[in-house]
Structure 1
Amino acid sequence: MVAIRAKSRPLAVFSFILILMSGCGGALNGEQKPDRREAEAEKPKEPYTMKIYAAGVAETEFDDRFRQVLKQKFPHITVEYFPGVKGATLPNLVAEGNIPDLIRTDVPTLRTAYLDLSLGYDLNDFVKKYKYDLSRFTSVFIDEIVDAGRTGALYGLPVPPYFPQALYYNKDLFDKFGVPYPKKTGITWDEVYDLAKKLTRVEGGAVYRGFSSHPGNTLRDNQFSLPILDPSADQLAEPEKWKVLFNNLLRFYEIPNNTIESTATLDGSAFAKGNVAMMTNQHSVYLKLPPELNWDLAAYPTLEGAPKLMPQRGPAYWSISNTSTHKEDAFEMIMVMLADEVQMADSRKGITTTLNSPVIKSALGKESPVYSTKNMDAVNVYPPIPYTKKRKAGLTDVPGLTLQNLQSQTFVDVAMGKMDVNTALRQLDEKLKAELAKEKSK
């Protein structure tokens, strides 16, 4: 009996091995079938083209900031870039059926250049799926895009830069006339006005202006966060506050020899000529000042009765087209382009971050040949001011650019002496109502 048990043992062991091989998906010739999920993960992804549209952003800028990092993270995706040139604007592409997957939107044109084209897509589901932390961003930027959409949807995530206001000053003119530079922080509009009077003069046949601005930006990005069109009624919002804002800026152009240019854009570019001592304007990498101009920055002047916050124009946003067949990849691309390391690289170049990171903010301009010698802390002295209130859902609205242009030209007309402030604001109110009537008739 002992001999029989000894012979049976190898057979039993062999049977056990066969059972194990069967349970593990064993194969002939010693091969083992790989786990199906592992095989899918190891399988190369199918290559395809992702179309990205960003009107007004040159392809060289996109390449410098984003293309390489996207190529590293998504080697199977080829990016086709559209900068919105003539003949290839977003409406052109939509009409051709060549709709981009990713679109750079902004608040003033969110309706006319995105939602009205039936491209709107809510990112909230992807935010939940990826547990994406929206608190990374300066909260006013997230709040504004949600409010602007008027549906509660999140139509985009904020991409740098945004455009904080600051006080620019020409150091050479201050030195020439023996006037101390503006205080770096805490200067008031009244103090700027006093400096402007001292620095406006005619010498040797040359006119030196104490102050200029881009009135459209200065009034739009105002310190009351005051909208042009009332959020709840078909009229100019709070005319008495607009009167304060108009009068505050108007007094500078009433200084003899500090005459405003014929358009807001021309007055905004006057500082670059070298004969203007101070300018309020946005900090923007797109604002090109001559290299020979010896300028610096101070914090934006505070206004009596207004919060001590920094006026700003919000950023653009990365949005996804609802027609895209690559929405999830598009969202992953957005996350990569808005990552901390990408925004830190942007900040070092002088591009303001949309994140609330003090470390990234403090790096602003540190590696820029232009901004590394400037007081870039000036744009971070005060927190960004809340965005202007948007129209309530259900009320007819007017495109943001239309509102801005009406307001800007109205002020220029006042500053040129064509009408007084009260008349100008009354006419602006009438123009707004006319625009609303146009929109309602569509």
Structure 2
Amino acid sequence: MTNACDKKKAALALLLLLAGALAGCAGKTEEGSGPAQTGGTGHTGQAGGPADDADKPVMTEPITLTFYRFYAGLSDKEFDQFFVQPLKKKFPNVTLKPLYSGLTGPLSAENIIAAGENPDLIYTSNYSLPIFKQLKLQQNLNDLIAKSGFDMKRFDPVILDALAKYNDDGGVYAIPFSLNFAPLFYNKDIFDKFAVSYPKELTTWDDIIELQKKLVRSEGGVQYRGIVPPVAKQFGDQLALSYADNKTKKATLDTEAWRSVLDVVKRFYDVPGMLDGDKLPTDTKTFFTEQTSAMYTNWADSALGNLTELAEKGQPMNWDMTTYPSFASAPGIGRRVDFHLMMVSPTSKHKELVFDMIRYVTSEANQLEMTKNARMTALDNAGMKARFGENLKVMQGKNLTAALKTKSAAVNPSDYDVPVSGLVNKAGTNVGTNKKDINTALREAQEEADKLIAAEAAKSSL
């Protein structure tokens, strides 16, 4: 009798063990949304949260996910450094397949699905969000955010404010990754050569134009310039000017505000010796390659890449950095807020897994490492931002404190910013090269933009 009971107990125990094993397997789903697949929503602490469970790997079956980068700067080295390598620690079963597209081409946002590619993770900038909105290639992340307890308030308020302006339904469609950061770089040797004082902190564009007049000169057959100024749209962005009105479906270019912007462009190029024949000179070529421009204003990560390359070639530049110039009417305001972001594609079969990966690369540890390597964190963390470029030798001793003093300009986005801003730059080029006066250039840009918007609106209504 005792033996029979023991056998029944053993059989029952075996059944319980088998049931437990089967329950564990049930965590995997075809869509990859269960805890066994994602390794995220079932965690004690979320990536980037106070109880971050660091690099504990989540072992599941091998999966290949498509990382679609659209019209946003991210070098192969950065892709490996900030995505592939960190994610290997946490998701060793996942392989990222990179795809890149510019505005046009067979893999453009408009053609990506027709090309037979189904992105999982979309990497782009806020500037391109209207394109994905129009194509309905945005996934509302509210449920995933709520389910995982992901804290959006960790991000810089200027980013969150901008992000909210791209959608009016209260949905969150993107997670910030990095904040583009633009100082004013300057070549000390050129200033010293012509005995001109270095640019000061919190300068205005009027101040820079005065420096321009002192530094544009020809010597020994070499044409020197103070600065190749930003394109017209960047000046307008600093003043938070709009490009179009979504309600009226009209451009907003033929205005006094945009005329004042093109006037600044004209003042820069009116200095004799500024033009390269009948063309505008190139900022990167004249500052880095030829080293004939004294100043340069653009995103810090790409500029530091060029400066590092020069140093590694044994041709280091004697440079420093300071505050990005502002308008007298908007003191302390730098470039328009521009940030790289990540979206879960609605075409993905592994949405929860992709979101977990996004959470992981926005953890404090990963964001700090990224910032130390000269890509500014998207987090609201002044201490972390002060460590920008810490791992780069070329940043040692540079005036980062001054460079961080500007605030990003706000955005007033429309669904047509990308194409219309190109027409603004075209108008700026025509004015800078004296091919057209300001009023004519803007009137023609307005007319061309209105036609473009009408065509886009008709296309989206089909």
The TM-score with structure 1 as length reference comes to 0.83
Partner residue of 1:348 out of 366, 372, 387: 372
Residue 128, structure 1, aligned to residue 137, structure 2: no
Residue 16 (structure 2) aligns with: 33
In the alignment of these two chains, the number of paired residues is 412
CA distance in 2, matches of 1:232, 1:386: 20
Question: Cα deviations across residues 287-307 of structure 1 (Å, max 9, x unaligned)?
Answer: 625443322211012322224
Query: Does the residue aligned with 2:163 lie in a helix, a strand or coil?
Result: helix
Letter in 2 for 1:122: N
Residues 104 and 318, structure 1, Cα contact 8 Å, conserved in 2: yes
Query: Does the residue aligned with 1:71 lie in a helix, a strand or coil?
Result: helix
Q: Superposition RMSD on alpha carbons, in Å?
A: 3.1
Residues 213 and 281, structure 1, Cα contact 8 Å, conserved in 2: no
Residue 61 (structure 1) aligns with: 78
Give matches, 1:110-149, under 5 Å: 110-112=129-131, 114-149=132-167
Question: Cα deviations across residues 201-250 of structure 1 (Å, max 9, x unaligned)?
Answer: 2223322212212314532532x211222465423257122222222332
Residues 320 and 399, structure 2, Cα contact 8 Å, conserved in 1: yes
Partner residue of 1:103 out of 81, 98, 122: 122
C-alpha displacement of 1:96? 4.3
Letter in 2 for 1:108: Y
Letter in 1 for 2:139: Y
Going from structure 1 to structure 2, the CA distance change for 1:263 and 1:46 (only over 3 Å counts) comes to farther
The TM-score with structure 2 as length reference comes to 0.79
C-alpha displacement of 1:318? 0.7
Give matches, 1:113-262, under 5 Å: 114-160=132-178, 162-183=179-200, 185-216=201-232, 218-222=234-238, 224-230=239-245, 233=248, 234-237=250-253, 239-259=255-275
Residues 159 and 316, structure 1, Cα contact 8 Å, conserved in 2: yes
Residue 291 (structure 2) aligns with: 274
Question: Cα deviations across residues 377-427 of structure 1 (Å, max 9, x unaligned)?
Answer: 34421232222x123xxxxx42x3312211111011111112222222222
Residue 442 (structure 2) aligns with: 425
Going from structure 1 to structure 2, the CA distance change for 1:262 and 1:158 (only over 3 Å counts) comes to farther
Query: Does the residue aligned with 2:409 lie in a helix, a strand or coil?
Result: coil
Query: Does the residue aligned with 2:377 lie in a helix, a strand or coil?
Result: coil
Residues 260 and 415, structure 1, Cα contact 8 Å, conserved in 2: no
Residue 390 (structure 1) aligns with: 413
Q: Mind listing any 5+ residue stretches in structure 1 that lack a counterpart?
A: 1-10, 392-396
Going from structure 1 to structure 2, the CA distance change for 1:309 and 1:111 (only over 3 Å counts) comes to closer
C-alpha displacement of 1:336? 0.6
C-alpha displacement of 1:341? 1.0
Query: Does the residue aligned with 2:306 lie in a helix, a strand or coil?
Result: coil
CA distance in 2, matches of 1:79, 1:26: 49
Query: Does the residue aligned with 1:54 lie in a helix, a strand or coil?
Result: strand
Comparing 284-293 with 196-205, greater Cα deviation is found at 284-293
CA distance in 2, matches of 1:403, 1:87: 22
C-alpha displacement of 1:88? 5.1
CA distance in 1, matches of 2:138, 2:324: 36
Letter in 2 for 1:124: N
Residues 59 and 83, structure 1, Cα contact 8 Å, conserved in 2: no
Question: Cα deviations across residues 132-168 of structure 1 (Å, max 9, x unaligned)?
Answer: 11111112323333322454332211112x3233222
CA distance in 1, matches of 2:272, 2:24: 75
Comparing 248-257 with 79-88, greater Cα deviation is found at 79-88
Going from structure 1 to structure 2, the CA distance change for 1:309 and 1:232 (only over 3 Å counts) comes to farther
Partner residue of 1:315 out of 332, 339, 344: 339
Residues 312 and 384, structure 1, Cα contact 8 Å, conserved in 2: yes
Residue 47, structure 1, aligned to residue 66, structure 2: no
Going from structure 1 to structure 2, the CA distance change for 1:29 and 1:181 (only over 3 Å counts) comes to same
Residues 333 and 409, structure 2, Cα contact 8 Å, conserved in 1: yes
Quick check: which has more Rg, 1 or 2? 1
Residue 94, structure 1, aligned to residue 113, structure 2: yes
Letter in 2 for 1:303: F
Residues 183 and 321, structure 2, Cα contact 8 Å, conserved in 1: yes
Going from structure 1 to structure 2, the CA distance change for 1:379 and 1:229 (only over 3 Å counts) comes to farther
Going from structure 1 to structure 2, the CA distance change for 1:229 and 1:269 (only over 3 Å counts) comes to farther
CA distance in 2, matches of 1:88, 1:417: 37
Residue 367 (structure 1) aligns with: 391
Residues 280 and 433, structure 2, Cα contact 8 Å, conserved in 1: no
- Same amino acid, percent of matched pairs: 30
Going from structure 1 to structure 2, the CA distance change for 1:102 and 1:322 (only over 3 Å counts) comes to same
CA distance in 2, matches of 1:262, 1:370: 35
Comparing 264-273 with 289-298, greater Cα deviation is found at 264-273
Residue 31 (structure 2) aligns with: none
Comparing 52-61 with 361-370, greater Cα deviation is found at 52-61
C-alpha displacement of 1:254? 1.1
Residues 47 and 76, structure 1, Cα contact 8 Å, conserved in 2: yes
C-alpha displacement of 1:326? 0.8
Q: Mind listing any 5+ residue stretches in structure 2 that lack a counterpart?
A: 28-35, 37-58
CA distance in 2, matches of 1:382, 1:227: 21
Letter in 2 for 1:390: P
Residues 46 and 76, structure 1, Cα contact 8 Å, conserved in 2: yes
